[in-house]
Amino acid sequence: MHYTFQFGVVFDELAYLLGGAVITLEIAFLSFWLGSLIGLGGATAKLRGGRVLRAITNAYVVFFTNTPALVQIFFLFYALPDIGILLNPFGAVVIGMTINTGAYMTDILRGGILSVRQAEIESAEVLGMSHLQTLRYVILPHVAKTLFAPLSNFFIWLVLGSSMAAIFGVEELTGRAINISTQNLRTIETFIVVAGIYILLTVIASAALALIGRWAFRVRARIF
């Protein structure tokens, strides 16, 4: 059996695919930063909260880190309408990935906060800093520098993991690739091109994160 590759029909849709890549980055960006806010709150609750708050946070982390994000999004998109809550596909995916990200971020940021030396916190207290000022000027810069590499890798993971949005009809990169391949019946060529775009996205994101790390946090970050 001889197969003739025809990439031309795929490259004709390149602009359409790149538009999907933008949506992929939007999903990853929103999920990462909203999840980071949840994670910061969760980490603070585990370290400074009372017994009840710590128990609730622990239950949240255990549940959402031990069940697949895909299952969580399925629940949001297909189960919530039964109680009158309707979410559009994009919203369901972002909310699901954000909640999942928040659970992982809780433990990641907790570890980063614990890495801050007690002497630094005590020095901030001696200088009369409030808890908010200590968090902003002492804890967060230290955590950002310490955790920059793993957080960067986590963002790349979100970029690639956003492909599950295609299952729910979101026209991100993979979703648009499915649409094209069903029309031109050139599945191999389509997904070879899409794989190349994903590689390009991760390289660009890694390079951007490395530059941000060197500029903002003096982290000697490398692209790979």
Q: Do the domain assignments include residue 123? A: yes
Q: Do the domain assignments include residue 209? A: yes
Domain that includes residue 159, residue range:
8-216
Q: Do the domain assignments include residue 224? A: no
Most confident of 134-138, 208-212, 216-220: 208-212
- Provide the token pair at 121: 């916190």
Residue bearing the bigger pLDDT, 42 or 211: 42
- What CATH number should be reported for the domain holding residue 126? 1.10.3720.10
> What is 22-50 written as a DSSP string?
HHHHHHHHHHHHHHHHHHHHHHHHHHHS-
Q: Do the domain assignments include residue 223? A: no
Q: Do the domain assignments include residue 221? A: no
Q: What is the pLDDT of residues 48-95, one digit of tens each?
A: 888 999 999 999 999 999 999 999 999 999 999 999 999 999 999 999
> What is 87-150 written as a DSSP string?
--HHHHHHHHHHHHHHHHHHHHHHHHHHTS-HHHHHHHHHTT--HHHHIIIIIHHHHHHHHHHH
* Coil, strand or helix at 163: helix
How far, in Å, CA of 182 to CA of 169, rounded?
A: 14
Structure pTM? 0.88
Q: Domains in the chain: how many in total?
A: 1
